Amino acid sequence: MTDTAPDPSNADFTNAGEPFELFSSWLAEAEKSEPNDPNAMALATVDADGLPNVRMVLLKGLDDTSAENRGFVFYTNFEGTKGRELLAHPKAAALFHWKSLRRQIRVRGTVTVVPDAEADAYFASRPRLSRIGAWASAQSRPLEGRFALEAAVAKYTAKYAIGDIPRPPHWSGFRITPVEIEFWKDGAFRLHDRVVFRREDAGALWTKTRLFP
């Protein structure tokens, strides 16, 4: 983060009363300015020893039919590292950082598996080769060489040469239902603006607190 002056065109987000609407507006602005993957987020999980793991994933959904369960949806292989960690310890944190806007958003909450129908609909929307890849990749496990991966892709390409490609049983989505969302905007001389929304659980009302930089 630099000691540069903030963009004067940015509205005063500290007056926002609800975090999801503010998140959506910031994401929409990032989609206009970020050169790559404005929906990318760093996802943190913990392993069996409590040691954290973090990696980049893509946000693929925000809303749910139930207002209490609105959250941040991403998809992965349940047999990979993050899938296994989330199934064992269903809590996570995520970070969105938009360098072009000098903004970031931190999210913390509980994690649930999305309904099958929701996962099926998203899987069907993916490019065909991405669907093949979901079958071919034994995510996070040792790979003896690139040829083994290419052979697996060829195997499933032949298997599903005609017709629809079903969603693998080990591939689905997770929803982070947040109990805390913090918004951060760069300020001159590191006098940043920070606002955090918190609630006890998914059914509770949000409280808002402005924080020192």
Residue with token string 């606002």: 195
**Between 146-159 and 128-136, two packed helices, what is the crossing angle to 10 degrees?**
120
Supply φ then ψ for residue 93, to 5 degrees.
Answer: -130, 150
Residue with token string 């987020």: 41
Q: What is the pLDDT of residue 14?
A: 83
DSSP 100-133: TTTEEEEEEEEEEEPPHHHHHHHHHHS-HHHHHH
Q: What is the pLDDT of residue 44?
A: 98
List the catalytic residues: 190
Q: What is the pLDDT of residue 15?
A: 87
- 152 and 136 Cβ atoms separated by less than 8 Å: yes
pTM reported for the whole predicted model: 0.90
CA 84 and chain centroid, separation: 16
Query: How many of the other CB atoms lie within 10 Å of CB of 136?
Result: 19
Class of domain 13-211 (CATH, top level): mainly beta
β-pair partners for 42: 56, 95
- 131 and 83 Cβ atoms separated by less than 8 Å: no
Q: What is the pLDDT of residue 2?
A: 45
Query: How many of the other CB atoms lie within 10 Å of CB of 184?
Result: 22
Supply φ then ψ for residue 154, to 5 degrees.
Answer: -65, -40
Residue with token string 């693998």: 168
DSSP assignment letter at 6: P
Q: What is the pLDDT of residue 8?
A: 39
- 201 and 19 Cβ atoms separated by less than 8 Å: no
Tokens of 125: 């929307």
Query: How many of the other CB atoms lie within 10 Å of CB of 181?
Result: 22
| Nearest-angstrom CA–CA distance, 59 and 105 | 13
Tens place of pLDDT per residue across the chain (213 aa) = 444 444 434 568 888 888 999 999 999 999 999 999 999 999 999 999 999 999 999 999 997 545 666 899 999 999 999 999 999 999 999 999 999 999 999 999 999 999 999 999 999 999 999 999 999 999 989 999 999 999 999 999 999 999 999 999 999 999 999 999 999 999 999 999 999 999 999 889 999 999 999
Tokens of 30: 């990032």
